[in-house]
Chain A
């Protein structure tokens, strides 16, 4: 048994080394840099953290990022689960719809950006449609509506992926459980709440983590469409980090990254604990 474990470890070793070389060691350097000055190696103590936490731009970006996650995650998880459950019971066109939902994921970021520009520009398609119905359009990307656009984009892009993941989870639930419940007089809602939800909990954990991490990737589209300084509602943490690097504020960038990492680890840890407890 011990020998088998050793063999397994050896197989994992290259990947583990990669993680160390490309993630753990660089992150160790980030932690070190968060305590030193930007250029040179003078010890800065907690000064960088203090600067970051009192930095208006960072606070705005952190608030926006949190708001984005709080709005997007429940929306995405709820919508994707709903669609997955509906598709699960569907016989006709199930595979076609599954593929259709995955199409946004296959579209390259550059094309998505082009689409954004065509649709959401001040003289774009959306305003054209609105004006056809005698409604006043707006500069979607340079007004408060930009946040809505960003949320829409995230949901649109990740919905299909989450639907597939949910469906994989749903597929694992034995049909006999549903049949037994129906025999006992359970309706569709009861089946959903008392059979489906408890049985997809292990999958839900993975989906939540993946969706949460994917929410940070939406920066790419926002950056490509409106650049380093977008409308302030969609000014996210990645904007700050990117701009700090351009200003050589590596000290602040490192401290900000460490803080973000702590928040992420705490979030994952708490989620896992709550999951473990309930299981």
Chain B
């Protein structure tokens, strides 16, 4: 009996210990269930171990057509689309064969010459177009299969004179359904009559999609399901509602990201397929699980550049998705390919970067066998601090679960090199340098003991923009301060420097232009240079004494990065509206440079490298390094791609620094000397802050002289600014107090030196 008790006690203790230990383990990942359906399974499903997945293929639009307005699988089994020639405002009925390789074009006639904001393709090959309202009436054009249009007036509910059709689609039976400005869903009759589909009980429909005979109406709290054939509202699907509740971005349409989801019927009766920024998904009505057919990281719309327009599931193995621009893709299933890419790569950066996102998307497209996980340590949404992010990163590195590629912006590169975390990437840089060219000064600036462990893919630099006298002074911070004081003496009634330069923005601008000179040979900070830096910053700040509370940039934009996009802090516009005498700050892209040059016809200004007589420094951006591991081939391939012309020149988001790749740099230079956007007419308008006057300028092409000067300046840059965030934060914190008069110069310098030297001594 006693033995039995002992045994029970022992077993209980053992169970407790096992529970304790098991409770502390990482727990494993929850697998996504699949509930079958006729469609082939893709990434992120239980079938991971098996084979087969979808691949993206780009479709070239037929000549003269630059965008798809609507897609449908036609009743004869072919692919139907409404195409648009946006330049000529001509529309076509398209019938595609061989997965978009062959097209039959039918020009649409008799629908007027105006722009048609929305169109819908019917399964029988006919189409409908809608005009903007004119005199309170909205016209629809019903187009037959031969392209002949017939105009009808729509009897939209008259809630306002501006009521119009925002979205239209045909169901599987050819019923035309539209959503009006008020968010009401209406079925349009052949005579233009509009019948409200169902009572939404006051809930506005943000957008809708059609999946065969099923209408999915998305509102803020979920999705209404409506059977268009039986004309009855169906029971809502909790799983789909949860999707909307968990990610509110999926609920509404905005001008930047367009409609967040597009829908299509599948190959089986209850199939609903949809695509959004996360990928392509399959849901079976009545089911509880959404199956991911394709991860968006393998698609072009995963980069965030493409606004989804329409989607058609052709058969079990082919899905078509059109973007709102010229983007048109089909996704084909390859049953022989591994269900998930054989190689996996993790790229880690502290800060969100839209450029990096796009580079990853381009890389994945080029390397479908490598799956790239892109991680950002500081999303800005979850309250994670720099320390938290670095702690997690370091724990992962120590546990050998760290990233393969590190984007070292803001991190202590030297520390990672010293610890042997980074691999020598000199050979990668040399390969790209040989093939496409890399600015040798950037290469030299990235060397550590003759080797390269990390190199920026992009860079920014600081400039001064103003008249000739100002440019003469622009070479040093001291002269800039002197010039600012002189200008204020001459005219004390207006600001000398742009009004947005609060303490933080001003200090950061000057920091990037000067910090490359601060470190002494023994690694500690130079007291003299730090003192001069703060003195000059204070002199410049005191010239206008801007009110810190009014400085929106300090609070909202910070260092010029917003939603992962870098914006320069130089403000050419302030020279146009004469709210300052000269401007200075960072310049982040060719577009900004082009904009700046375009303003000179009004401002008669020019530019020079800021602090260039003291140090010709650049601000490194996206400094990439390969983490030393057993297998680094994929990581090296990615880093090479990041430095390469394709990533640097194809990446359409221009506001992300200048490329280090010479071939890419040249591509941009050429493009900006003969810019198609300039031909179309690109301009910028802005107010004076008070909202009374409107200013603006027309973008123009860069001249050869301007490109030559830019290239010369870029080639002259020798040293990277200090980007270590710990040091930057200490300088900005103490500098801020000094500029605001809360601290004496000596105390500020002493505090900076003590803290930074302590950091360096560690």
Q: How far is B756's CA from A1's CA once the two chains are assembled, in angstroms?
A: 63
Q: How many Å from the CB of A225 to the closest CB on chain B?
A: 13
**How many A-B residue pairs lie within 8 Å, measured between CB atoms?**
79
Of the listed stretches B13-21, B450-458, B464-472, B659-667, chain A binds B13-21
Interface contact A18-B20, CB-CB below 8 Å: yes
Main SS at interface, chain B: helix
Of the listed stretches A77-85, A210-218, A240-248, chain B binds A240-248
Q: How far is B522's CA from A56's CA once the two chains are assembled, in angstroms?
A: 14
Interface contact A228-B387, CB-CB below 8 Å: yes
Interface contact B17-A17, CB-CB below 8 Å: yes
Interface contact A235-B758, CB-CB below 8 Å: yes
Which of A10, A56, A248 has its CB near the most chain B CB atoms (within 10 A)?
A: A248
Interface contact A246-B390, CB-CB below 8 Å: yes
Count A-side interface residues using an 8 Å CB cutoff: 33
Do A13 and B751 contact each other (CB < 8 Å), given the known contacts A18-B20, A57-B761, A246-B394? no
Q: How far is B394's CA from A242's CA once the two chains are assembled, in angstroms?
A: 12
Q: How many Å from the CB of A138 to the closest CB on chain B?
A: 10
**CB contact between B726 and one of A123, A228, A245, A249 (< 8 Å): that residue:** A228
Contacts of B419 in A (CB 8 A): 37-39, 248-249
Interface contact A139-B758, CB-CB below 8 Å: no
Q: How far is B51's CA from A152's CA once the two chains are assembled, in angstroms?
A: 67
Interface contact B397-A139, CB-CB below 8 Å: no
**CB contact between A57 and one of B10, B420, B758 (< 8 Å): that residue:** B758
Confirm or deny: A117 has a beta carbon within 8 angstroms of a beta carbon on chain B: no
Q: Nearest chain-A residue to B748 (Cβ)? A: A142
Do A248 and B762 contact each other (CB < 8 Å), given the known contacts A40-B420, A228-B387, A229-B730? no
Q: How many Å from the CB of A1 to the closest CB on chain B?
A: 16
Interface string of A3-23 (1 = CB under 8 A from B): 000000010011001100100
Q: How many Å from the CB of A249 to the closest CB on chain B?
A: 7
Interface contact A122-B398, CB-CB below 8 Å: no
Main SS at interface, chain A: helix
Interface contact B391-A229, CB-CB below 8 Å: no
Confirm or deny: A272 has a beta carbon within 8 angstroms of a beta carbon on chain B: no
Do A57 and B762 contact each other (CB < 8 Å), given the known contacts A14-B13, A139-B747? yes
Interface string of A32-57 (1 = CB under 8 A from B): 00000111100000000000000111
Contacts of A14 in B (CB 8 A): 13, 16-17
Q: How far is B21's CA from A18's CA once the two chains are assembled, in angstroms?
A: 9
Which residues of B18-52 are within 8 A (CB) of A?
Answer: 20-21
Contacts of B148 in A (CB 8 A): none
Confirm or deny: A126 has a beta carbon within 8 angstroms of a beta carbon on chain B: no
Do A55 and B394 contact each other (CB < 8 Å), given the known contacts A18-B20, A248-B415? no
Q: How far is B759's CA from A244's CA once the two chains are assembled, in angstroms?
A: 10
Interface string of B412-424 (1 = CB under 8 A from A): 1001100111000
Q: How many Å from the CB of B389 to the closest CB on chain A?
A: 10
Q: How far is B752's CA from A142's CA once the two chains are assembled, in angstroms?
A: 11
Confirm or deny: A60 has a beta carbon within 8 angstroms of a beta carbon on chain B: yes
Q: How many Å from the CB of A66 to the closest CB on chain B?
A: 18
Which of A14, A55, A240 has its CB near the most chain B CB atoms (within 10 A)?
A: A14
**CB contact between A232 and one of B17, B747, B758 (< 8 Å): that residue:** B758
Q: How far is B13's CA from A115's CA once the two chains are assembled, in angstroms?
A: 45
Contacts of B398 in A (CB 8 A): 39, 248, 250
Q: Nearest chain-B residue to A59 (Cβ)? A: B761
Count B-side interface residues using an 8 Å CB cutoff: 35
Contacts of A245 in B (CB 8 A): 391, 394
Contacts of B742 in A (CB 8 A): 122-123
Interface string of B283-297 (1 = CB under 8 A from A): 000000000000000
Q: How far is B397's CA from A246's CA once the two chains are assembled, in angstroms?
A: 12
Q: How far is B6's CA from A13's CA once the two chains are assembled, in angstroms?
A: 13
Interface contact A21-B21, CB-CB below 8 Å: yes
Interface contact A229-B759, CB-CB below 8 Å: yes
Q: How many Å from the CB of B25 to the closest CB on chain A?
A: 12
Confirm or deny: B9 has a beta carbon within 8 angstroms of a beta carbon on chain A: yes
Do A10 and B10 contact each other (CB < 8 Å), given the known contacts A228-B387, A246-B394, A248-B421? yes
Interface contact A243-B420, CB-CB below 8 Å: no
Interface contact A21-B415, CB-CB below 8 Å: no
Interface string of B497-512 (1 = CB under 8 A from A): 0000000000000000
Confirm or deny: B754 has a beta carbon within 8 angstroms of a beta carbon on chain A: yes
Interface contact B416-A248, CB-CB below 8 Å: yes
Q: How many Å from the CB of A250 to the closest CB on chain B?
A: 6
Which residues of B364-419 are within 8 A (CB) of A?
Answer: 387, 390-391, 394, 397-398, 412, 415-416, 419
Interface contact B758-A60, CB-CB below 8 Å: yes
Confirm or deny: B231 has a beta carbon within 8 angstroms of a beta carbon on chain A: no
Which of B394, B415, B420 has its CB near the most chain A CB atoms (within 10 A)?
A: B394
Interface contact A247-B420, CB-CB below 8 Å: no
Interface contact B394-A229, CB-CB below 8 Å: no
Q: How far is B394's CA from A18's CA once the two chains are assembled, in angstroms?
A: 26
Contacts of A247 in B (CB 8 A): 412, 415, 762
Q: Nearest chain-A residue to B743 (Cβ)? A: A139
Q: Nearest chain-B residue to A223 (Cβ)? A: B387
Interface contact A243-B13, CB-CB below 8 Å: no
Q: How many Å from the CB of B496 to the closest CB on chain A?
A: 29
Contacts of A38 in B (CB 8 A): 419-420
Q: How far is B393's CA from A250's CA once the two chains are assembled, in angstroms?
A: 13
Do A56 and B759 contact each other (CB < 8 Å), given the known contacts A10-B10, A14-B13, A246-B390? no
Interface contact B758-A246, CB-CB below 8 Å: no
Confirm or deny: B755 has a beta carbon within 8 angstroms of a beta carbon on chain A: yes
Q: How far is B756's CA from A41's CA once the two chains are assembled, in angstroms?
A: 31
Contacts of B759 in A (CB 8 A): 228-229, 243
Interface string of B709-743 (1 = CB under 8 A from A): 00000000000000000100010000001000011
Contacts of A56 in B (CB 8 A): 761
Interface contact A39-B420, CB-CB below 8 Å: yes
Interface contact B420-A249, CB-CB below 8 Å: no
**CB contact between A248 and one of B394, B730, B751, B754 (< 8 Å): that residue:** B394
Which residues of A262-276 are within 8 A (CB) of B?
Answer: none
Q: How far is B402's CA from A250's CA once the two chains are assembled, in angstroms?
A: 15
Interface string of A167-206 (1 = CB under 8 A from B): 0000000000000000000000000000000000000000
Q: Nearest chain-A residue to B10 (Cβ)? A: A10
Contacts of A240 in B (CB 8 A): 762
Interface contact B758-A229, CB-CB below 8 Å: yes
Interface contact B754-A232, CB-CB below 8 Å: yes
Q: How far is B20's CA from A247's CA once the two chains are assembled, in angstroms?
A: 32
Do A142 and B751 contact each other (CB < 8 Å), given the known contacts A17-B17, A21-B21, A39-B397? yes
Contacts of B762 in A (CB 8 A): 55, 57, 240, 243-244, 247, 249
Contacts of B13 in A (CB 8 A): 10, 13-14
Q: How far is B394's CA from A249's CA once the two chains are assembled, in angstroms?
A: 10
Which residues of B616-667 are within 8 A (CB) of A?
Answer: 628
Which of B17, B21, B762 has its CB near the most chain A CB atoms (within 10 A)?
A: B762
Contacts of B9 in A (CB 8 A): 10
Q: How far is B386's CA from A242's CA once the two chains are assembled, in angstroms?
A: 13
Q: How far is B654's CA from A46's CA once the two chains are assembled, in angstroms?
A: 51
Q: How far is B494's CA from A198's CA once the two chains are assembled, in angstroms?
A: 79
Q: How far is B394's CA from A40's CA once the two chains are assembled, in angstroms?
A: 13
Q: How far is B423's CA from A40's CA once the two chains are assembled, in angstroms?
A: 13
Q: Nearest chain-A residue to B727 (Cβ)? A: A229
Interface contact B391-A39, CB-CB below 8 Å: no
Q: How far is B523's CA from A56's CA once the two chains are assembled, in angstroms?
A: 14
**CB contact between A55 and one of B20, B628, B761 (< 8 Å): that residue:** B761
5 residue pairs from A and B, CB less than 8 Å apart: A13-B13, A39-B419, A228-B387, A229-B730, A232-B754
Nearest 3 A/B pairs, CB to CB:
A229-B755, A56-B761, A57-B762
Supplied contacts A123-B742, A248-B415, 17 more A-B pairs, CB within 8 Å: A10-B9, A37-B419, A38-B420, A39-B397, A39-B420, A39-B421, A56-B761, A57-B758, A122-B743, A142-B751, A228-B387, A229-B759, A243-B762, A246-B387, A246-B391, A246-B394, A249-B419
